[in-house]
Homo-oligomer: A and B are copies of this chain.
Amino acid sequence: MKSTSERILDAAEDLFAEKGYSATSLGDVADQVGIRSPSLYNHFKNKEALYGAVIERLLTVFTEIMAEMSEGELTRDRILNWLETIVRLHHETPNLARLLQHAALSGGPQTGEIIERLFKPMFSPDQRAIGGDEMFMMLGDANLQPWAVMALNNVVMSYITMAPMYRHMIGIDPFGPDALEKQLAMILKLAGAVMDYKG
């Protein structure tokens, strides 16, 4: 049985992911949990604190895998395995992508910290996952690195945020296992094509 704090976090995460920070009220969250609003303040001091706790819980899931690529020799296989792990993680934890997309569109607290922890490692000039002698994933031009990183992120994360709109066209649940396997196959082939890019 989940604690009240956990149930509040679950409800808040779903609501922030659907409606964004500004459009979500603590009353909505309390209603969803089935408690009265004042009780919510026993657990989180205000909306910003609740949002911060939701973000923290989501980021924790991704921290380990993001750190993994900063150590050891980078091979083509390691990069593809890492990508597969990231894609599966976003499908298991779709609310992070949704929350970040809302924050990018409409603003929200703690955006700077999210960027610092989740994205910055991927944009470092010496980040070997996308740099290195072989210019993996730079499409032959180091100046394009940040744009290639953004594209990769968008292919992975925006599938989560945009897929509901495509559901009718692809004919299957975009979050079901069959769709995930197709998304994975496409991303791994795309990454392969980029790594093989000869200009």
B197 & A147 in contact (Cβ 8 Å cutoff)? no
Report the copy number of this chain in the oligomer.
2
Instruction: Please classify the interface of chain A as helix (H, G, I), strand (E, B), loop, or mixed, using the class held by over half of its residues.
Output: helix
A182 & B104 in contact (Cβ 8 Å cutoff)? no
In the assembled complex, A134 has its CB within 8 A of some CB on chain B: no
A85: min CB distance to chain B, Å = 19
Total number of A residues with any Cβ neighbor in B under 8 Å: 59
B146 & A170 in contact (Cβ 8 Å cutoff)? yes
CA distance A163 to B149 in the complex (A): 11
A residues apposed to B, CB below 8 Å: 17-20, 22-23, 98, 100-106, 111-112, 114-115, 119-120, 123, 139-141, 143-144, 146-148, 150-151, 153-155, 157-159, 161-166, 168-170, 182-183, 185-187, 189-190, 192-194, 196-197, 199
